[in-house]
Chain A
Amino acid sequence: MKMPPPDPNIIAKRRELVDRLRAIVPGEGVIVDEAELRAYECDALTAYRALPLVVVLPSTTQQVSEVLKTCKEMGVKVVPRGAGTSLSGGALPLEDGVLLGMGKFNRILEVDYDNRCVVTQPGVTNLGISTRVAERGFYYAPDPSSQIACTIGGNIAENSGGVHCLKYGLTTNNVLGVEMVLMDGTVIRLGGKALDQAGYDLMGIVTGSEGLLGVVTEVTVRILKKPATARAVLIGFPSNEQAGDCVAAIIAAGIIPGGMEMMDRPAIHAAEDFLHAGYPLDVEALMIVELDGPAAEVDHLIERVVAIANDHGAVSARASTSEEERLLFWAGRKAAFPAVGRISPDYLCMDGTIPRKALPLVLSRMQELSERHGLRVANVFHAGDGNLHPLILYDANKPGELEAAEQFGADILTLCVDVGGVLTGEHGVGVEKRDLMTHQFAKADLDQQQRLKCAFDPDGLLNPGKVFPELHRCAELGRLHVSGGKLPFPDIPRF
């Protein structure tokens, strides 16, 4: 993975940079010691590493503003980082750049039940918000698997989702407002406690922008009352096609489950061996459908889902009858990643979305690719919204296997795009899928996105090398080609 080459002129100015940063963030807030810098050399995508030039850990918006202003003045790049749980390398440091750690922004500032929102600093964990409002039966809906560790600021950078997001939406659907700092140090506020914001929906662009547009320093999120009850059905199918048809039939029946997850045979076996959740081992596909809401609704819909499953060839359909049983159904699914980790020294977790109807085709093509690349693949995915997570099993100690796994992954993602889907459903582009962007987007599409970036960060100093496969100078993107002094086009109908 090629990153922008480090600029020796910037590295030569390290001493001055450190002095200026220390004047802004005193004490241990500026890290220069190599052993301590190591802790920041990668995020959860550990295949790529780099030592940052300096790490800065500010604790106020004012400090963030001054750090960014200083970096802009000195022409130094900045990589923002939350808890570092990104799976796409969004927080991969730059050797000639400042790593801006937001971990000290770890306080919830206000719980406003009357307006059903929480105002928080960005370094608070996703689960921390739900925990704080649990006393009154509220929660924050988006639930990425890493929710115990990942921060709400990182969730905004990645527009994170989780099992719930089919019904309750992604981060973007649950954020009401942000305070953020632009690269020139300007502090702006977007939205607030009102449901709608005025002007352009800049929050919609900032959410999921992977740290390329600004640094979020405060967040207002919507909280919801917890559903009265939740039950899950565990359904086994003799084929992936039948499972896929069942998903479509549930949606067609007007049912939007709180979660609808699927595992293929290798994933089922890995999970069952690991956790003994009681999964059937004689099926090709296993589905967990969770219904949440009032008990009367859940009971009614469980019956309908079981009936639909039986109509689509299910060989088993078990509805949970207690909270323990529901959690046991989920335990295997939630442990699928570590379970697969036990049957292979290493694995790559991919993340693409497809139209659901393409599922049988994509799974069979994936099997062909598996044979071609000589690597096994296990599949767990969010069936409700078509978000696949193929786990490619490989051994990093065997020469060539990492490269083969990467190629296999790229083939899967381009396949997702070819059937009408996208490169990433929830993990982000980062560095991992950056070079595949041209497969989904034409040059004009990417140019327009990069012009948006220029509106926020004209020098391209925030998190460069992520998301876009080519770095353009803003001046070059800003040029306008006009043909010059022609008559109105004769072939357009005019009146």
Chain B
Amino acid sequence: MGITTFKPATPEQLADAVRWALDAGEPLELTGTGSKRALGRPVQAGHALDLSDLSGVVSYEPEELVLTVRPATRMAEIEAMLRDRGQHLAFEPPDLGPLYGLPLGGGTLGGVLAAGLAGPRRLSAGSARDHFLGVAGVSGRGEAYKGGAKVVKNVTGYDVPKLMAGSFGTLTAMTEVTVKVLPAPEDTRTLLLHGRSDADGIRALTAALHSPHEVSGAAHLPESVAERIAPVASARAAVTAIRLEGFGPSVAARLAGLTADLGGIDGVLDRGESLAFWRAVRDAAPFHASTPDTDPLVWKLSVPPASGPRVAEELALALGDVEFFFDWGGGLIWLATPRDADAAALRGALAPFGGHATLVRGPDSLRAAVGVFQPQPAPLLALTQRVKASFDPRGVLNPGRLYAGV
């Protein structure tokens, strides 16, 4: 039997396709525009479920702070529509396309939610999960169902949308998603400190996050990485960056207050430069490359923020030739390693600190072999498998994308 690709245009057709898969005992790989196909483990499925026709805005009500779309709606379209009304997705979804040699703007909101991605504002505004209010979709049982709702405050029944965030299409093929939208900040400024060591940089970020100045971005970039981001390249030094956003008078007052608290700063990025800088941090731009055969591996580590510099030190010791930078006040480490770096050594170095590592870019063979996502302790893996089975008992939706068999 050759490869069958289903391209449903309606939830009913989607349910039919899943029922076909159940019938035939043939799992499906779910795709939207395919921009994140290289993220996660390679799917163990011989047939394809192309969801790209399930796109379009269902409803957008700025005053209700709620947006409902079909999942394959392009991020570029959504961002432009929100911008027109002075709003945005506060979790600042990254565009990882260029990390995989793809153009910017290729992704969909469904993909962003299914991958559970969030950018620098994660530390103040939360992640994709925190803004995911409602979902409708087809389970691996071929049943259409919905969870959550289309209002910003809801505790009725289990919070099913949360579970969809970061599930990589292994539980449900989504047909409609509702997210919370928020006012976009009127102004943005970024304070810069130059030449700090990793430890001193993170200490400065911690001090800023302990101030009442409502920091919405806190990153530290060693010199070799900083020099690849245009607005800060000219410093020719490590860059510690702190973002302030909000109403004009508020940003101005906080900028003055924080400058005093930090005992002086080395520079300020204006609004345009700030937007460009944080977009680069968000998308891991220093690690963009377009030679898939020789690209370094890229990992994303989520750790207790204050331990960031020590984790990085241990990683350098364990893996040798690595590059990294910090976001989320030290809690997110973007790491590039040679292609033959030992994944077990990486996870071993991380273990004493808590947190977890995700292989964001690497060849298929490696992603299947080492596990893209942090291996789970046995009892948690067993629960994970039972949760998977509750939605998709025959494993027809993206099997293996998250863990072997899940």
Contact = CB atoms under 8 A, between A and B. Distances in A.
B150 interface: yes
Contacts of A437: 156-157
Nearest to A117: B304
A444 to B, nearest CB: 4
Interface stretch (B97-105, B122-130, B276-284, B335-343): B122-130
A424 interface: yes
Contact of A208 (B64, B159, B387, B403): B159
A256 B62 CA distance: 13
Nearest to B150: A420
A452 B9 contact: no
Interface stretch (A10-18, A96-104, A382-390): A382-390
Contacts of A353: 149, 151-154
A252 B63 contact: yes
B143 A444 contact: yes
B151 A422 contact: yes
A193 B5 contact: no
Interface stretch (A74-82, A168-176, A270-278, A311-319): A168-176
B163 A204 contact: yes
Contacts of B65: 251
Contacts of B5: 494-495
Given A194-B304, A195-B302, A198-B356, A165 B165 contact: no
Task: Label chain A's interface by main secondary structure.
Answer: loop
A301 B153 contact: no
B281 to A, nearest CB: 15
Contact of B153 (A201, A227, A382): A382
Contact of B354 (A170, A194, A301, A448): A194
Interface in A157-203: 158-159, 161, 165-166, 169-170, 172-173, 182, 186-190, 192-203
B7 A114 contact: no
Nearest to B381: A199
Contact of A486 (B23, B304, B354): B23
Contact of A209 (B20, B158, B210): B158
Contact of A186 (B209, B379, B402): B379
Nearest to B388: A200
Given A201-B163, A296-B250, A357-B61, A386 B153 contact: yes
B377 to A, nearest CB: 8
B217 to A, nearest CB: 13
A67 to B, nearest CB: 18
Given A198-B374, A424-B155, A488 B387 contact: no
Nearest to B379: A186
A294 B209 contact: no
Interface in A462-495: 467, 478, 480, 482-486, 488-489, 491-495
Nearest to B23: A482
A485 B20 CA distance: 9
A179 B61 CA distance: 38
Interface string A418-449: 00111111111100010001001110111111
Contacts of A165: 153
B182 interface: yes
A194 B212 contact: no
Contacts of B390: 448, 451-452, 454-455
Contacts of B332: 195
Interface stretch (B228-236, B251-259, B263-271): B251-259
A445 B147 CA distance: 7
B300 to A, nearest CB: 9
Contacts of A427: 155
A266 B34 CA distance: 56
A281 interface: no
Given A173-B126, A254-B186, A204 B162 contact: yes
Interface centre among A166, A190, A204, A301 (most CB of B within 10 A): A204
Given A444-B144, A485-B23, A201 B162 contact: yes
Contact of B387 (A198, A202, A484): A202
B8 interface: yes
B380 interface: yes
A255 interface: yes
A86 to B, nearest CB: 12
Interface in A221-254: 225-228, 248, 251-252, 254
B66 interface: yes
A456 interface: yes
B161 to A, nearest CB: 8
Contact size class for A?
Answer: 35 or more
A293 interface: yes
B61 A195 contact: no
B94 interface: no
Contact of B383 (A195, A251, A357, A455): A455
B127 to A, nearest CB: 6
Given A256-B182, A294-B214, A422 B156 contact: yes
A295 interface: yes
B149 A194 contact: no
Contacts of A116: 209-210, 305
A69 interface: no
A115 interface: yes
B328 interface: yes
Contact of B394 (A201, A293, A429, A480): A480
Contact of B183 (A255, A426, A491): A255
Nearest to B90: A256
B325 to A, nearest CB: 16
B20 A488 contact: yes
Contacts of A256: 182-183
B109 interface: no
A355 interface: yes
B162 A449 contact: no
B250 A355 contact: no
Contacts of A263: none
B127 A297 contact: no
Nearest to B203: A114
B46 to A, nearest CB: 13
Given A115-B307, A202-B163, A494-B5, 15 more contacts: A114-B206, A169-B130, A194-B303, A194-B304, A201-B129, A202-B384, A205-B160, A227-B214, A301-B247, A425-B154, A445-B145, A447-B143, A454-B390, A492-B13, A493-B9
14 contacts: A112-B306, A199-B384, A200-B402, A203-B162, A204-B159, A225-B211, A226-B212, A294-B257, A385-B153, A429-B155, A452-B158, A454-B386, A455-B390, A492-B16
